[in-house]
Copies of this chain bind each other. A is one copy, B any other.
Amino acid sequence: MILELAKDIDPKQLGALADKLEWMGFNYSIHKTDERTDIAIISGSDSKVDINQFKNLPYVENVSSFKQSFKLAGKELREKSKTFQIEDVTFGQGHFSVMAGPCSIEGEEQIFNIAEAVSSAGAKILRGGAFKPRSSPYSFQGLGKEGLKLMQKAAAQYKLLTVSEIMDAEDLPLIEEYVDILQVGARNMQNFSLLKKLGKTSKPILLKRGLSATYQEFLMSAEYILSGGNERVILCERGIRTFEPYTRNTLDIAAIPILKSLSHLPVIADPSHGTGIRSLVAPMSKAAIAAGADGLMIEVHPEPDKALSDAAQTISLEDFSKIMGSILPVNKQLVSV
């Protein structure tokens, strides 16, 4: 249920209304924009709440039901796409951010070399895996805390933000200390316990689409985080599983304009995991931008063939620099089209 409030409502009146809703037993959240103030009643199924009991509340000018089940991730509370800040980087419509780095943090020299290259190519965010979701228990599982420390040091030197995957809620205090953006991997997209806990952190979340998740399911997973109170969620299209053996995944470029039409959240693309093939990173980066992506996540390594994980899809620092040189101007032209 969305309660649209009078424009001239003052904080005291708003407080009184909120108290009343609490007394009535509802969970609610207040959504202010420059144009209007809304209250979203999100708890319980809309169908069980009588719309009439809100119509006569003071300062409530209009009451409507949510049409979409992703109430907070959708656009019903706010028509326009919203932007948000992570430190000095703006995410969302009209802005464009590139996250780059190794699949796995492997050591000090590696991550510093990469950080320097990522920064000088014009990207603002360093990615690096410290806790790795490997399909085999016998594969390299990441450097853990040691890796996070190294990445933080490298990022600090080159003035980059950092993003790294969280696989276990138990690691939340540790990762919150060292990382700016917490990534939820495709395999954990419907790990609802983890999502609920991430709804309570103050860190922004990069949520990757599951390997066979529908758009609806993807947005409902974002809703789990948003409904916990964490409003800074970035959606990442990273390829779906299909019958095609040539590629690791099929990067669903249409997901970008569709998610942006359904949701106010920023949408980025990961052409590295999305294809699994080095030579496709450049054309698919351009395609993602052309389709309206708000950013990219790209795997880079000083010696791609020696990368401890995901070597086949990882590009060299030189290639990354070239891609950045070609996509950043394209982005400006396309955004202005």
Q: A241-B243, A242-B242 are in contact. Are A284 and B254 (CB under 8 A)?
A: yes
Q: A304 to B242: give the CA distance in the assembly, Å.
A: 31
Beta-carbon contact of A330 and B326 below 8 Å: no
Q: How many copies does the complex hold?
A: 4
A334 / chain B contacts, CB cutoff of 8 Å: 286, 290, 330
From 7 to 57 in chain A, residues with beta carbon under 8 angstroms from any chain B beta carbon are 42-45
Of the residues B212, B279, B287, contact of A288 by C-beta under 8 Å: B287
Q: A243-B243, A283-B290 are in contact. Are A190 and B135 (CB under 8 A)?
A: yes
Q: A226 to B292: give the CA distance in the assembly, Å.
A: 38
From 171 to 230 in chain A, residues with beta carbon under 8 angstroms from any chain B beta carbon are 187-188, 190-194, 196, 211-212, 214-217, 220-221, 223-224, 227-228
A337 / chain B contacts, CB cutoff of 8 Å: 286, 326, 329-330
Shortest CB distance A288–B (Å): 7
- Interface residues of A, CB < 8 Å — how many? 73
Q: A296 to B223: give the CA distance in the assembly, Å.
A: 34
Among A139, A242, A330, the most chain B Cβ lie within 10 Å of the Cβ of A242
A307 / chain B contacts, CB cutoff of 8 Å: none
Of the residues B247, B254, B257, B287, contact of A250 by C-beta under 8 Å: B254
Which of A102-110, A118-126, A150-158, A162-170 is the contact stretch? A162-170
Beta-carbon contact of A215 and B283 below 8 Å: no
A292 / chain B contacts, CB cutoff of 8 Å: 283
Q: A136 to B333: give the CA distance in the assembly, Å.
A: 39
A280: CB under 8 A from chain B? Answer: yes
A279 / chain B contacts, CB cutoff of 8 Å: 257, 261
A254 / chain B contacts, CB cutoff of 8 Å: 247, 250-251, 274-275, 280, 283-284
Q: A169 to B279: give the CA distance in the assembly, Å.
A: 40
| Known contacts A44-B138, A214-B244, A254-B284, then 13 further A-B pairs from the complex at CB < 8 Å, ordered by chain A residue | A45-B139, A138-B227, A170-B170, A211-B212, A212-B212, A214-B243, A215-B246, A240-B250, A246-B258, A250-B252, A256-B283, A284-B291, A329-B337
List 7 A–B pairs whose Cβ atoms lie within 8 Å, in order of A's numbering: A45-B138, A137-B223, A167-B193, A286-B291, A286-B337, A289-B290, A330-B334
